[in-house]
């Protein structure tokens, strides 16, 4: 089933709806590159619960339309896996009717950031529209359980990983995991706002759940095999960073001359630059999730791309 929103980028499909378990739907926005994320809808007998929204005003409205095609039940709960704009800009489309739940740092980051277009000039051609900041109104620090009828949804904090505030939504009765951006399927993992070491630990925690179906934050619905693929990339970054750090080579220079090998086939390969910066910070003993200069990171990614803007088809 396809939604009605057609992205401005040519050659990518319209968002689609996939029933990943009875009454549980994934909203997939391929190709999963910048701002093309996934979301979810869990339908109960009288209400619906969502997992994440989308990154632009138009896509937020399209997600709302897609939900109405899935169910006529009111959306009463919205779970945010982390604060990033591609997963939360569309929160406005479901407020004030839905109670928004997220990690306490998710709320903090959205409130602190304010209106989104701080770095949107790095994505020319993308119309983000008007997305009023709409943070969680219910927060938690470690774990929270919510229900759709008798179906248990376990929210667990696994950060800092992709960000400081990553949460995964585990539905044990279905062996189904909504992983947020702790897992990318076919895209380059991104740790600029989080932690390399923490990301590896988050993978261990996810693997221990033994999920059979995974809805990643970006890319197609998949199985647990994606965990090993993401781990391989993270270990590549870790090992590359250690060699460069020991040799005194700066991250941007190291990235420029680096052969990504099999990982060069992933979307958004320029993320290697901030990922190396993150690894270097941790090699220096820096705190997980510590600030990296965002504008510098985006400018260095543009430089890595030969001066070309970041590819955003949202």
pTM of the shown model = 0.95
Strands 213-218 and 75-79: unpaired
**277-307 b/e with 16+ CB inside 10 Å = b?**
bbbbbbeeeeebbeebeeeebbebbbebeee
Confidence of residue 6 (pLDDT cuts 50, 70, 90): very low
Give the pLDDT confidence score for residue 3 in this predicted structure.
Answer: 34
Percentages helix, strand, coil for the chain (3-state, rounded to 5) are: 35, 25, 40
User: What number of CA atoms fall less than 13 Å from residue 183's CA on the CB side?
Assistant: 30
Q: What is the mean pLDDT of the chain?
A: 95
Q: How far is residue 202 from each of residues 90, 109, 197, 252, measured CA to CA in Å?
A: 26, 20, 9, 26
The pair of structure tokens assigned to 123 is 């994505």
Asked whether the predicted pLDDT for residue 119 surpasses 80, the reply is no
Spatial distance between the Cα atoms of 286 and 303, rounded to a whole number of angstroms: 25
What pLDDT score does 120 carry? 66
Average pLDDT over residues 279-287: 99
Domains of the chain in sequence order: 16-304 (3.60.15.10)
pLDDT score at 2: 33
Q: What is the mean pLDDT of residues 113-142?
A: 84
| pLDDT computed for residue 11 by the predictor | 72
CA dist 300 and 280 (Å) reads 15
């Amino acid at each position: 089933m396809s939604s009605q929103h057609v992205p401005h980028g040519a050659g990518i499909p319209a968002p689609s709806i996939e029933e990943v378990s009875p009454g549980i739907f994934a909203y997939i926005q391929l190709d999963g590159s910048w701002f093309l994320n996934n979301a979810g809808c869990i339908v109960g007998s009288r209400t619906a619960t969502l997992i994440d929204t989308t990154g632009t005003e138009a896509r937020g409205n399209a997600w709302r339309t897609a939900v109405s095609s899935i169910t006529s039940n009111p959306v009463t709960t919205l779970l945010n896996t982390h604060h990033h704009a591609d997963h939360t800009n569309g929160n406005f489309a479901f407020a004030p009717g839905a109670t928004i739940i997220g990690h306490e740092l998710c709320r903090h980051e959205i409130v602190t950031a304010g209106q989104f277009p701080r770095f949107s000039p790095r994505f020319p051609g993308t119309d983000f529209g008007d997305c009023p900041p709409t943070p969680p109104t219910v927060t938690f620090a470690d774990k929270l359980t919510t229900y759709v009828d008798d179906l248990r949804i376990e929210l667990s904090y696994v950060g800092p990983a992709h960000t400081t505030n990553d949460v995964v939504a585990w539905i044990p009765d279905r062996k189904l995991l909504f992983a947020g951006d702790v897992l990318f399927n076919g895209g380059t993992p991104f740790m600029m706002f989080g932690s390399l070491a923490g990301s590896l630990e988050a993978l261990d925690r996810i693997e221990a759940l033994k999920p059979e179906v995974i809805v990643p934050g970006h890319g197609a619905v998949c199985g647990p095999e994606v965990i090993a693929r993401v781990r391989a990339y993270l270990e590549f970054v870790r090992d590359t960073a250690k060699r460069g750090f020991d040799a005194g080579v700066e991250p941007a220079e190291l990235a420029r001359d680096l052969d990504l090998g099999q990982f060069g086939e992933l979307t958004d390969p320029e993320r290697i630059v901030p990922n190396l910066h993150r690894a270097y910070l941790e090699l220096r003993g820096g705190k997980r999730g510590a600030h990296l200069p965002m504008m510098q990171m985006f400018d260095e990614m543009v430089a890595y791309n030969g001066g070309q803007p970041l590819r955003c088809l949202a």
